[in-house]
């Protein structure tokens, strides 16, 4: 959400008729936003709108189109539990297939009628007088100064949607082409070019092997080597697809087995010694694929496995052994018009710079214009660090629900599991509003504080805090603000049944005219 201030003279677009408000406003059409929309429909709620800044659905899988883009969780697990797909082409789904899956979900659940494309949320303010959220929007799909009103606001933008580009000395003077992996420039022909890649995270290890085959030379600037496990990817066989289609329970069994395998890694977060077997596999993988001891030393992590997200790839290391690829760990001193100078004084002539430097996570809301009850700014509420109860509700912000909010990220399992748990939790909150005939629900500050003390207590000594690395899980003070510090089963149990005592419920429900469902997707 941007920083445009809500003006008193702004035009308000109701769901239907003067004074109308949607029962829910959802932001984003990735897995989070669409999961929330499907949950509402299944609960019999059709009076909602989905605001999407782009011209099509997809979230992460629309934005990321870099060569080799794929999921690092197996397809049978990285999909909605209630919407299995029996004909996945591979064990690890690629970007296009995931985007097609998402579009199929939109069609099956008739969600297009609820979506307003090219409508970017630029701010949101809670109206104390009506207990509704007033959401400012901009873009080709919005009227000038338009405000969309909703009884509830579900933010489904996800934690990985704002590309992070380092502030390198001299970068503005560079005369070549630059772009981030999440904003891939497909019009730029890399063939024969001298390319610098900055960053060695999850995206880089996928696109580096693809572009290394085409570029003239590739210089990879690595700050910290990732732990990489071999990727057991393969085509899903025709026999497996037939079993998934025809034999009840087989696909569910596959999914559960993958889930349990992934979940087993959580045991090592508090007991890193349990990861010795996994780290041994990763080290053997590195030794097998990189025979050069000098290069292998540069690629060997000096921190505990799990401190950063463990990656999977079987073609990254071989790409680094190519004659036209050079790995440097010296760091960057400055960028010049046609080159990058490393801290050891080496100058690398380059035509293009590609950033594989991840996203803003712990500081993603730094410039967001979100104002809660009694004028509380989100920046003031989070002046000591971002936090939320169960990653969903924030004290002082009634009827605001964050999907994949603070401390609900995973380093070992499928985020779809967390999304489904959060959607169920939000629906319980909305159901309690209806049952009590109330207009607002807000988590008690004491409850949020107690939960976040538990998060930090569980994080103390955990591998991502004490493992000897820096990662997007931690804020600038080294505090875990992103990772869920326990098992996903623990999260499921905590969100399975809402505790009414955790919340303050009051006010009167906003006036929502009858028959608004037909206009839910039009804003007219």
pLDDT tens-digit map of 430-485:
999 999 999 999 999 999 999 999 999 999 988 888 888 888 888 888 899 999 99
The pair of structure tokens assigned to 304 is 């505990």
6: exposed, middle or buried (Cβ count in 10 Å: 0-12, 13-18, 19+): middle
- The enclosing domain of 502 has a CATH number of 3.50.50.60
- Segment 89-120, tens digit of pLDDT: 999 999 999 999 999 999 999 999 999 999 99
Asked if residue 241 lies in contact with residue 251, where contact means CB atoms within 8 angstroms, the answer is no
Q: How far apart (Å, rounded) are the C-alpha atoms in residues 220 and 236?
A: 33
Residue 24's SS3 state is strand
Portion of the chain with pLDDT greater than 70, in percent: 92
The pair of structure tokens assigned to 5 is 């201030």
| Per-position b or e across 324-334, b if 16+ CB within 10 A of its CB | ebbbbbeebbe
Residues 6+ positions from 479 with CB-CB distance below 8 Å: 385, 456, 459
Is pLDDT of 8 > 90?
no
Domain extent for 203:
171-355
- Considering the domain boundaries, does residue 257 fall inside one? yes
- Segment 205-238, tens digit of pLDDT: 999 999 999 999 999 999 999 999 999 999 999 9
- Considering the domain boundaries, does residue 329 fall inside one? yes
Specify which residues 235 forms β-bridges with.
Answer: 90
pLDDT at 309: 87
pLDDT at 463: 85
Q: Mark whether 91 and 134 lie in a shared domain.
A: yes
Q: Mark whether 213 and 152 lie in a shared domain.
A: no
Host H or E run for residue 489:
helix 488-496
Q: Mark whether 425 and 496 lie in a shared domain.
A: yes
- Considering the domain boundaries, does residue 81 fall inside one? yes
Q: Mark whether 415 and 321 lie in a shared domain.
A: no
Is pLDDT of 182 > 50?
yes
- Segment 369-416, tens digit of pLDDT: 999 999 999 999 999 999 999 999 999 999 999 999 999 998 889 999
Q: Mark whether 386 and 419 lie in a shared domain.
A: yes
- Segment 306-345, tens digit of pLDDT: 888 899 999 999 999 999 999 999 999 999 999 999 999 9
Q: Mark whether 100 and 201 lie in a shared domain.
A: no
Q: Mark whether 33 and 147 lie in a shared domain.
A: yes
pLDDT at 108: 98
Q: Mark whether 235 and 146 lie in a shared domain.
A: no
Q: Mark whether 176 and 251 lie in a shared domain.
A: yes
Q: Mark whether 390 and 513 lie in a shared domain.
A: yes
Q: Answer with the one of 310, 328, 355 that is the final residue of a domain.
A: 355
Q: Mark whether 247 and 120 lie in a shared domain.
A: no
The answer to whether the pTM exceeds 0.85 is: yes
pLDDT at 9: 36
Portion of the chain with pLDDT greater than 90, in percent: 80
- Considering the domain boundaries, does residue 428 fall inside one? yes
- Segment 132-168, tens digit of pLDDT: 999 999 999 999 999 999 999 999 987 666 788 999 9
Host H or E run for residue 11:
strand 11-13
pLDDT at 476: 86
pLDDT at 479: 92
- Considering the domain boundaries, does residue 461 fall inside one? no
Domain count, the chain: 2
- Considering the domain boundaries, does residue 480 fall inside one? no
Q: Which of 238, 275, 267, 240 is nearest to 254 (CA)?
A: 240
Is pLDDT of 273 > 80?
no
Q: Answer with the one of 355, 379, 398 that is the final residue of a domain.
A: 355
pLDDT at 469: 83
Q: Which of 8, 355, 31 is nearest to 177 (CA)?
A: 355
pLDDT at 161: 67
118: exposed, middle or buried (Cβ count in 10 Å: 0-12, 13-18, 19+): middle
Q: How far apart (Å, rounded) are the C-alpha atoms in residues 34 and 368?
A: 22
**Mean pLDDT of all residues in the chain?**
91
Mean pLDDT value of segment 254-274: 86
Q: Answer with the one of 334, 355, 376 that is the final residue of a domain.
A: 355
Q: Which residue has the tokens 């730029």?
A: 188
Asked if residue 328 lies in contact with residue 222, where contact means CB atoms within 8 angstroms, the answer is yes
Is pLDDT of 514 > 50?
no
- Segment 12-40, tens digit of pLDDT: 444 543 347 999 999 999 999 999 999 99
- Considering the domain boundaries, does residue 464 fall inside one? no
Which one is predicted more confidently, 115 or 358?
Answer: 115
pLDDT at 151: 96
Q: What pLDDT band is residue 362 in, cutting at 50, 70 and 90?
A: low
- Considering the domain boundaries, does residue 506 fall inside one? yes
pLDDT at 468: 83
Q: Mark whether 404 and 321 lie in a shared domain.
A: no
Q: How far apart (Å, rounded) are the C-alpha atoms in residues 409 and 32?
A: 13
pLDDT at 442: 97
């Amino acid at each position: 959400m941007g920083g445009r201030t809500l003006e008193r003279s702004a035009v308000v677009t109701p769901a239907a008729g003067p004074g109308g408000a949607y029962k829910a406003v959802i932001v984003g059409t990735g897995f989070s936003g669409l999961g929330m929309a499907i949950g509402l429909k299944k609960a019999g709620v059709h009076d909602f709108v989905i605001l999407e800044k782009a011209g099509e659905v997809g979230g992460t899988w629309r934005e990321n189109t870099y060569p080799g883009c794929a999921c690092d969780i197996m397809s049978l697990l990285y999909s909605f539990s209630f919407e299995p797909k029996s004909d996945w082409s591979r064990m690890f789904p690629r970007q296009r297939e995931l985007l097609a899956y998402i579009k199929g979900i939109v069609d099956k659940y008739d969600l297009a009628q609820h979506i307003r494309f090219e409508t970017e949320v630029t701010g949101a303010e809670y109206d104390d007088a009506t207990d509704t959220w007033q959401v400012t929007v901009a873009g080709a799909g919005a009227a000038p100064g338009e405000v969309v009103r909703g009884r509830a606001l579900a933010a489904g933008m996800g934690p990985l949607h704002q590309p992070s580009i380092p502030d390198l000395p001299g970068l503005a003077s560079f005369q070549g082409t630059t772009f981030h992996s999440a904003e891939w420039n497909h019009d730029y022909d890399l063939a024969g070019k001298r390319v610098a890649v900055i960053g060695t995270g999850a995206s880089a290890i996928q696109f580096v092997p693809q572009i290394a085959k085409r570029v003239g030379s590739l210089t990879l600037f690595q700050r910290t080597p990732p732990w990489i496990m071999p990727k057991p990817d393969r085509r899903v066989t025709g026999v497996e697809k037939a079993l998934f289609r025809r034999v009840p329970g087989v696909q569910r069994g596959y999914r559960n087995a993958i889930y349990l395998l992934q979940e087993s890694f959580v045991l090592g977060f508090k007991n890193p010694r349990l990861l010795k077997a996994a780290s041994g596999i990763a080290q053997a993988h590195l030794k097998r694929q990189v025979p050069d001891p000098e290069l292998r030393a540069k690629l060997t992590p000096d921190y505990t496995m799990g401190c950063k997200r463990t990656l999977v790839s079987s073609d990254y290391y071989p790409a680094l052994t190519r004659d036209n690829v050079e790995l440097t760990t010296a760091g960057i001193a400055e960028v010049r018009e046609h080159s990058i100078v490393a801290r050891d004084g080496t100058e690398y002539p380059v035509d293009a710079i590609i950033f594989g430097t991840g996203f803003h996570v712990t500081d993603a809301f730094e410039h967001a214009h979100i104002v809660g009850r009694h004028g509380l700014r989100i920046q003031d509420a989070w002046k000591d660090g971002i936090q939320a109860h169960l990653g969903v509700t924030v004290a002082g912000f009634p009827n605001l629900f964050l999907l994949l909010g603070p401390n609900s990220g995973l380093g070992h399992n499928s985020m779809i599991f967390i999304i489904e748990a959060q959607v169920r939790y939000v629906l319980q909150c909305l159901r309690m509003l209806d049952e009590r005939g109330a207009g607002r629900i807000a988590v008690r500050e004491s409850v949020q504080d107690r939960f976040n003390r538990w998060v930090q207590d569980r994080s103390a000594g955990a591998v991502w805090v004490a493992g000897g690395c820096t990662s997007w899980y931690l804020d600038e003070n080294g505090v875990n603000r992103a990772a869920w510090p326990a098992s996903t089963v623990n999260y499921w149990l905590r969100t399975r049944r809402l505790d009414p005592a955790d919340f303050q419920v009051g006010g009167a429900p906003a006036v929502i005219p009858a028959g608004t469902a037909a206009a839910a997707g039009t804003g007219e």
